[in-house]
Structure 1
Amino acid sequence: MTDDADLVPEPGAPEPGLPGTGTEPPHPAATARRRHPLVIAASVLLLLVIVGVVLVPQYASGVRALESFGSISPSLVLAALTLELASLLCYSALSAEMIGPPTPRFRTLLRIDLTDLGIRNAVPGGGATAAAARYRFLRQAGVRPENALTAATIQLTGSNLALGALFALGVALSLRTFSDNLYYRVAGIAVLALLAAAALAVWLLTRHPARSVTAARAVARRLPLVTEAGAESFVRTLGGQIRLLATHPRRLLVVVVLSAANWLLDAAALWVLLAAFGYPLAFGPLLTVYGLGTIVAMLPLTPGGLGIVEAVMVPALIAFGAPRGAALLGVLGWRLLEYWLPLPLGLAAWLSLRRGSSRRRDSPGHPPE
């Protein structure tokens, strides 16, 4: 058995991937793997079930609710669009803070982030492809390899932690809404229990990494499509990310603040669109429904959670008392801004970055952006 000390760097030794160490972690593209055919088949089957069981029955209500489009205030639509764009700007500000010097121009980072988001929304499980593209463009913009990867690690981990905290807050605030409903009480308690389990897992990964690796390998032996080496690599990488955040308290604070702003502005866009269709949602239910839909979107089943997010959020809103038509049109309107809008923006950003790369290749003396 490997002792815990074997998994922790020697005192004073540079941690792999930290800025300034000169250690270059593996390229993100090296970690990309093909999706297993069973996963692809399951994703397609799940999408068909969702469309047939959840979205099609909502179609009639949606058609009736379309009549309310003419009464929507253009100022509310503009407000939702502004909030969505502000959310994207917050994410790029987070990128600028995490990368450190030499930092590319903000407009360059914004185009890189839009390209990243566009790929994630266009490709099922496109995280690895988006990470490889992001890494390549950051390198072309003059970012050191270790800074590019470390920034991505801290940014993604901190952003997901902030989302989890907001979701937990929403669940806690919404429990009283369904105090007489046993189903929702049990569901809410289950969510909080999962978050507590995640906190325990973080403690184990940071305090007892060797035992965590041993447990992960033992679980992998009993699961199909999972190798012991893959499980160990995942646990080691996750533990390293958590320790990386813990050793950078200032960056952790910035990550939390900007990540929370990114999520809250996006959630506010959803609230505005629901209000435009006549149902302003309370803060607790808003965070619950938004957090649930955003977490589901991260599952590598369909591009950007297409179909799955809508199938989860619309019934959740109806359960919180939203009229069926308002819930459907509010979610679809929000997805138009949150999911579909980044696709053409991401394509335009990608083309712009490619043109910039071509110009730099034609002019060797041209400094990076």
Structure 2
Amino acid sequence: MQRFHTRRVITSVLTGCATATLMVLLPRAVGTTWAAVGEVLRAVSMPGLAALTVLWIAGLWSHTFVLAASLPGLTKRRGLTLSLTGSAVANVLPLGGAAGTGLNYAMTRRWGFSPAAFGGFLAVTTLTNVVAKLGVVAVALMLAPTMHSATALPIGRTGLALIPVLAALAAVAWFLARPSAAATTGRRLDRLLGFFRRRPMLALSLPELRISVLRVFRRGWRRMTLGMVAYLILQLGLLWMCFQLLGTALSLPILITGLAVERLLTLIPLTPGGAGVVEVGTSAALVALGGDPAAITAGLLLFRGFTYLLEIPVGGATLAIWCLRNRPRTRQAAGTTV
């Protein structure tokens, strides 16, 4: 136990240092300075921040349709609670996705959902989010040749880059469409992991998981699709407005490319919420496509201020309220009620 605690502390320190280093070096990595970035950010007005807040809230609310459809019986208000609290934990702790999942599990159990129902919910939402991110990447790659900077991204090269993305999406479709796919995948993974554990588990659990996922998809795929599409459109609108408020106009293909890079980098859990990695990687990609370094960095920091930073205090406050409302009741005095 002591060894685990020490390892956790070391991991936290290292990821914190990595995040701080990446953020400090962010302007230099794209060819600008913090002074220039700060000068651009001064153009943001209070009405502009209010408009961004409305867009951000609308995006979060649209995503609750996906969550509610993934766990029958879950209300959108509770779905929003799961989203905010899970994101707050994931954005603060190293490898915080697991901690956020544990917190969401405790919440759903408190609300009366079974472990099996939460397992299906987790599988469906994870799969939906990954497919949505890969879908944005696919759209960005298909639009790349239409950009003014297409000389850097010729159609042949983007076609090659599109192959692994489409292959990943096809693999998901194959897994869901063929009953034997889950069993085959499970057996191969069990064989691969046989050095670490003796009992084969995935050959049995993956087919059951596939059935659970398909059951949820058949019942709620329309709401999931509409909710996810609306969420991505609102995220794109938030990114567009961040740059518009700073006086920087980016074309639709470049905006989609920026969103695709940002979504893809959030899949890499090197730092909490991808902090530092996402900012450096996405800024570098947009600057490479012809954007002004200071304006691109400022716009992306403003965007991440809503999609990453603001989720921490709002999610933390939501978690505090939930804990107060669901704290264990102590033994009360005779005749006293709460």
**TM-score normalised by the shorter chain: which range applies?**
0.7 to 0.9
Going from structure 1 to structure 2, the CA distance change for 1:70 and 1:107 (only over 3 Å counts) comes to same
Contact 2:85–2:319 (CA<8 Å) still a contact in 1?
yes
Is contact 2:186-2:206 (8 Å) kept? Answer: no
- C-alpha distance after superposition, 1:169-218 (max 9, x if no partner): 12211233243226x65663343111122134235534333443454456
Distance 1:194 1:36 in 2: 34
Which of the residues 80, 90, 111 maps onto 2:81?
111
Matches of 1:166 and 1:283 in 2, distance apart? 13
1:69 and 1:132, CA in 2 relative to 1: closer, same or farther beyond 3 A? closer
**In the alignment, does 2:36 pair up with 1:67?**
no
In structure 2, C-alpha distance between the alignment counterparts of 1:233 and 1:311, rounded to whole Å: 39
TM-score by length of 1: 0.74
Conserved? CA contact 2:146–2:253, under 8 Å: no
Counterparts of 1:177-326 in structure 2 under 5 Å?
177=147, 178-181=149-152, 188-206=158-176, 207=178, 208-216=181-189, 227=196, 241-247=209-215, 248-326=217-295
Amino acid aligned to 1:181: A
Distance in 1 (alpha carbons) for counterparts of 2:78 and 2:121: 16
Residue equivalent to 1:333: 302
Two-structure CA RMSD over aligned residues (Å): 3.5
CA displacement 1:93-133 (0-9 Å, x = unmatched): 332233223x45x4343223211110111112212211111
- Structure 2 regions of 5+ residues with no counterpart? 1-5, 333-338
Q: 2:126 aligns with which of 156, 178, 198?
A: 156
Q: SS of the counterpart of 2:33?
A: helix
Q: How many residues align?
A: 322
Alignment of 1:87-106 (within 5 A): 87-101=59-73, 103-104=74-75, 106=76
The residue number in structure 2 matching 1:14 is none
**C-alpha deviations, 1:23-50, integer Å up to 9, x for none?**
xxxxxxxxxxx98999889867865774
Identity percentage of aligned residues: 20
The one-letter code sitting in structure 2 at the alignment partner of 1:255 is: M
Which runs of no fewer than 5 residues in structure 1 stay unpaired? Answer: 1-33, 364-369
**TM-score normalised by structure 2 residue count:** 0.80
**Distance in 1, Cα, partners of 2:26 & 2:43:** 27
Farther off after superposition, 113-122 or 88-97:
88-97
State how 1:41-80 maps to structure 2 within 5 Å: 47=19, 50=22, 54-58=26-30, 60-80=32-52
Which residue pairs with 2:95 in the alignment? Answer: 125
Give, in angstroms, the shift of residue 349 of structure 1: 0.8
User: Which shows bigger deviation, 185-194 or 296-305?
Assistant: 185-194
Q: Distance in 2 between matches of 1:358 and 1:308?
A: 37
Q: Match of 2:112? A: 142
